[in-house]
């Protein structure tokens, strides 16, 4: 039996035949595109693109915290490292069988992480005079439904606390102060890993930014955006000589309460942990 299993793709084997995936499968069906609903989406897109005011509003795809103190992030200094080297060195800390090593990251590293992963990189001008900022990570329709928050536990040059990233100004908007390490780690099933990180970036999705244009199909697009941004954060963190780890083991509504967002209108998607570089050797007994 073991010999036969070694020759069969995992995707062709159902190890847990009693599992009920019907809700997931039904949900996926609702997000499919066919020749009928494609016309509905096309009409919605046409209606949006013919409304100059609406196009201009949708180009401002970022959340704001009016009146919140801002921390201007340091100017970006490109790292001297090749793309191939970054891709080949990228690892999740969890795959090394260890937590993050103790110590801070710098504000310059955090700034570069945001700059490389989600900051505007150019401005696109349309024939009708509207402008659209395009960012370093792709987004369906340039709608950028993903919002980024950072819980700073140990970052040189940055007060401990919770912040929101404002991409249009490459700045952090202050939300609340305090040592939030334990509070954050308690809303994850990976408590020790989260507690060892120097900072945690929390990803949310303002789904209506995408759903309003692409209807049911927009849900898939918003998830694609999250996946693309996760990879950008991994590569940016590696380029800036940081350890990184995406964590899906978070209690969604509790993490939403932690950052103060609506679990319906702006659901939490993921936490992305960063810390100082600790080498690529696995811990004793961990994966190599």
pLDDT reported for residue 2: 55
Does residue 4 surpass a pLDDT of 70?
A: no
Confidence of residue 288 (pLDDT cuts 50, 70, 90): very low
Question: What domain range is 160 assigned to?
Answer: 16-276
Does residue 282 surpass a pLDDT of 90?
A: no
Domain assignment of residue 224, yes or no: yes
Domain assignment of residue 258, yes or no: yes
Confidence of residue 16 (pLDDT cuts 50, 70, 90): confident
Number of domains observed in the structure of the chain: 1
Domain assignment of residue 283, yes or no: no
Segment 111-131 shows an average pLDDT of 89
Domain assignment of residue 9, yes or no: no
Domain assignment of residue 285, yes or no: no
Q: What is the CATH number of the domain that holds 55?
A: 3.40.109.10
Confidence of residue 217 (pLDDT cuts 50, 70, 90): very high
Query: Distance between CA 52 and CA 39 in Å, rounded?
Result: 22
pLDDT reported for residue 277: 96
Percent of the chain scored above 70 by pLDDT?
A: 92
Helix (H, G, I), strand (E, B) or coil at 283: coil
pLDDT reported for residue 256: 99
- The pTM of the full predicted model, rounded to 2 decimals, is 0.92
Segment 179-207 shows an average pLDDT of 98
pLDDT reported for residue 129: 74
Average pLDDT over the chain reads 93
Work out the angle at residue 206's Cα, subtended by the Cα atoms of residues 257 and 65, and round it to the nearest 5 degrees: 65
Domain assignment of residue 31, yes or no: yes
DSSP string spanning the chain? Answer: -HHHHTTS-GGG--S-TT---HHHHHHHHHT---TTHHHHHHHHHHHHHT-HHHHHHHT------TT--EEEPPPP---S--HHHHHHH--BGGGGTS-PPSSPEEHHHHHHHHHHHHSEEEEEE-TTS-EEEEESS--GGG---EEEEEEESSEETS-SEEEEEEGGGTEEEEEEES--HHHHHTTBS-HHHHHH-SEEEEEEE-THHHHHHHTTHHHHHHHHHHHHHHHHHHHHHHHTTEEEEEE--B-HHHHHHHHT--TTTS-EEEEEEEEE---SPPPTTS--
Does residue 81 surpass a pLDDT of 50?
A: yes
Domain assignment of residue 21, yes or no: yes
Segment 220-232 shows an average pLDDT of 98
pLDDT reported for residue 284: 45
Confidence of residue 211 (pLDDT cuts 50, 70, 90): very high
Domain assignment of residue 4, yes or no: no
**Closest by alpha carbon to 44, among 157, 177, 212?**
212
Lowest mean pLDDT among 23-27, 123-127, 150-154, 238-242: 123-127
Confidence of residue 171 (pLDDT cuts 50, 70, 90): very high
Confidence of residue 286 (pLDDT cuts 50, 70, 90): very low
Segment 51-61 shows an average pLDDT of 90
């Amino acid at each position: 039996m073991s010999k036969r299993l070694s020759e069969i793709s995992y995707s062709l084997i159902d190890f847990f035949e009693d599992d009920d995936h019907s809700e997931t499968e039904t949900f996926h069906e609702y997000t499919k595109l066919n020749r009928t609903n494609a016309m509905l989406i096309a009409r919605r897109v046409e209606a949006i693109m013919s409304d100059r005011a609406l196009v201009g509003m949708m180009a401002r795809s970022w959340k704001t915290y009016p009146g919140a103190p801002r921390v201007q992030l340091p100017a970006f200094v490109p790292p001297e490292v090749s793309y191939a080297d970054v891709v080949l060195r990228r690892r999740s800390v969890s795959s090394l069988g260890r937590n993050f090593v103790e110590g801070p990251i710098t504000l310059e590293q955090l700034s570069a992480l945001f700059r490389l992963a989600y900051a505007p990189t150019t401005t696109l001008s349309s024939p009708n005079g509207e402008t659209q900022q395009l960012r370093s990570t792709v987004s369906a329709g340039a709608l950028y439904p993903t919002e980024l928050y950072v819980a700073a536990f140990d970052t040189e040059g940055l007060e401990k606390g919770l912040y929101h990233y404002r991409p249009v100004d490459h700045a952090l908007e202050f939300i609340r102060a305090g040592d939030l390490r334990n509070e954050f780690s308690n809303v994850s099933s990976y408590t020790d890993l989260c507690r060892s990180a120097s900072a945690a970036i929390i990803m949310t999705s303002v789904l209506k930014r995408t759903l309003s244009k692409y209807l049911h199909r927009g849900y898939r697009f918003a998830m694609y955006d999250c996946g693309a941004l996760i990879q950008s954060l991994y590569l940016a963190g590696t380029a800036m000589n940081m350890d990184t780890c995406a964590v899906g083991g978070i209690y969604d509504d509790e993490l939403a309460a932690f950052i103060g967002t609506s679990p319906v209108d702006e659901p939490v998607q993921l936490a992305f942990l960063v810390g100082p570089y600790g080498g690529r050797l696995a811990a004793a007994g961990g994966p190599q």
